[in-house]
Amino acid sequence: METFKYMLTTRVKNGLIGCFGDGDIINQPEGIAAGREKLTLARNIGPKSLREIAEILHKFHYIDDVDK
């Protein structure tokens, strides 16, 4: 069974940790979904990484629309 943490690439994991400043954020997809605005303003997370995060959050039903 795939989990949110294992679907993320190392690049995205490092970006999330840099953005949220907490290594445990990888285990909290609901916190990532709630921090959408923070993600879009982060300098260390680009459009490709944002897309990857959105697709995985959508797959696990944390967000409704990948494009928003």
Say whether pLDDT at 67 is over 90. no
Domain ranges of the chain: 18-68
Buried b (16+ CB within 10 A) or exposed e, 20-53: beeeebbebbeebbebeeebeebeebeeebbebb
pLDDT mean across residues, the chain? 89
Say whether pLDDT at 1 is over 90. no
Say whether pLDDT at 61 is over 80. yes
Mean per-residue pLDDT for 45-67? 92
Say whether pLDDT at 21 is over 90. no
- Under a CB-based contact definition with an 8 Å cutoff, are residues 33 and 24 in contact? no
Q: What is the pLDDT of residue 13?
A: 92
Say whether pLDDT at 6 is over 70. yes
